[in-house]
Amino acid sequence: MKHIPVILFGAGGVGRALLWQIVVSRPVVAGRNQIVFNVVAVVDSRSWVWAPAGLADDQLLALVAAKAEGQRLGPERPGNVEIVEQAAAAGLEGALVVDVTAEAGMEPLLDRALASGYGVVLANKKPLAGPWSTAQRYYNNPRLRHESTVGGGQPVIATLRYLLDTNDPIFRIEGQMSGTLGYICGRLDEGVPFSQAVAEARANGYTEPDPREDLGGLDVRRKIMILGRMAGWPLEEADITIETLYPPALASLPVEAFMAKIGVMDGPIRERVAAARAAGALLRYTAELEAGVGSVGLKPVSREEPLANLKYISFRTALYNDQPMMIGGKGAGVEMTAAGVLGDMIGLVREG
C-alpha cells in the first residue's frame, strides 16, 4: 500500500467535494490501486489546517462541514511556498500538491512543489493559461496533471493526450466549453431574457462568483488555450478573439451593480436569438481553434448540427477527420470536477 501525503489548496465547492470523495472512495482506491491518500494540509485564502501525520476521516468531514458553513479552517496560514517548504522539512516525500483555487500567481508554489519532487494536480486553469513563456514548463510535464481544467471530469485532456501520443496530429478543436453559457443559451432558446438567464445561472451556483468571468469568455478562452497549447500551438491570448457578453461600461462595476444593469443586453441578444431562429439556428457560445488561430463567442448553429443539441468538445485529426473525435456529457459541476482531480491524483501515483 502506498501512503501519499496530499496538500490541498482551495476548500471551495471543488475542494470540499474532493475531500469528501477521498474519504468515501478509500476502499476502492486502496483495492484497485493500493493507494491511501493522507491529507496533511488543507489551505484556503486565509487559514489552514496542518497535520503532518494526516487528518483522520472524521476530521476531514468536519472540515468540509465547517467550511460549508463559512467557518475558518484553522489558524492563519503561511505563504504558499512556505507551506511546501514546511512539508519538505517535515520529511514528507512523494506528496501531491493539489490546486483547486481559481487564483492567479500560483506559479511559485507549483515550481517549489515540482522542485521538491512532488506531483501537482490542477483544476485551476490560470497557471496553464498565462503567457507561454511562463506556462510552457507545465505542459508535457509528467509530474503535473490537469484533467479537470477542461470539461470538468470528462476525459478531454486524457483523450487529447492519447491522440498526441499516437502521432495523430490535431487539425481543429471546437466545442461548447462552458456549462454556464450552455445553460444560459438553453434558457435563451426557451425565450427567457438574457438578464434573467444570467441571474438564474448565478443563483444556481453555475457561474463563478463574479459572472463576468463566464460572460466575458475568459474562462472559455483559457480552456481552448490549454487544449491548443497541448496540441502544439504556442498560443497567446491575442491568438484567440473573444466576444464579451456585456458592454465595456459594466466591466468595472461591483458585482451587484453589474447584475442590476445586465438587462441592457436583453434587447440586442433577443434580436440575435430571433435572427438565428429565422435561419433555422440556435445561438450557442462556442470555441473553435484551427491552425493556431481561434475564436470564442456567440454563434448561430444550425438546429441539425450536433453542437446545437449536445455539449461536447471535438478533435479533428488526421485519423478522425471526416468524423471528429467527440467527448461530451454532463461535464460541469463540483462532483465531476473533483472526480477528475482524484483521477489525476491516482494516475500520478500509479504512473509517476
Ligand X SMILES: NC(=O)c1ccc[n+]([C@@H]2O[C@H](COP(=O)([O-])OP(=O)(O)OC[C@H]3O[C@@H](n4cnc5c(N)ncnc54)[C@H](OP(=O)(O)O)[C@@H]3O)[C@@H](O)[C@H]2O)c1
Instruction: Provide the b/e sequence for 71-99 (b: ≥16 CB within 10 Å).
Output: eebbeebeebeebbebbbeeebeebbbbb
# residues near ligand X by CB under 6 A: 25
Q: Give the residue numbers marked as catalytic.
A: 223
Of 100, 226, 235, 281, the one binding ligand X (CB under 6 A) is 100
Cell numbers describing residue 48: 489552514
The distance of closest approach from Cβ of residue 66 to ligand X in the complex, given in angstroms and rounded to an integer, is 11
**Contact window for ligand X (CB under 6 A) among 9-17, 137-145, 284-292, 313-321:** 9-17
Pairing of strands 312-317, 35-43: unpaired
Helix (H) or strand (E) holding 44: none
Identify the CA nearest to 300 among candidates 316, 286, 289, 315.
286
Question: SS3 letters for 80-132?
Answer: HHHHHHHHHHCCCCCCEEEECCCCCCCHHHHHHHHHCCCEEEECCCHHHHCCH
Identify the CA nearest to 234 among candidates 292, 161, 291.
292
Binding mask 145-164 for ligand X (x = CB under 6 A): ---x---x------------
The distance of closest approach from Cβ of residue 335 to ligand X in the complex, given in angstroms and rounded to an integer, is 8
Q: Are 174 and 299 in contact (CB under 8 A)?
A: no
Is residue 180 involved in binding ligand X (CB under 6 A)? no
Cell numbers describing residue 128: 496553464
Binding mask 317-346 for ligand X (x = CB under 6 A): ---------------xxx--x---------
Residues in 202-241 at the binding interface with ligand X, rule: CB under 6 A: 209
Decide whether 2 or 46 has the Cβ nearer to ligand X: 46
Is residue 97 involved in binding ligand X (CB under 6 A)? no
The distance of closest approach from Cβ of residue 103 to ligand X in the complex, given in angstroms and rounded to an integer, is 4
The distance of closest approach from Cβ of residue 100 to ligand X in the complex, given in angstroms and rounded to an integer, is 5
Q: Which residues of the chain form contacts with ligand X (CB under 6 A)? A: 9-15, 43-46, 100-103, 123-125, 148, 152, 209, 332-334, 337
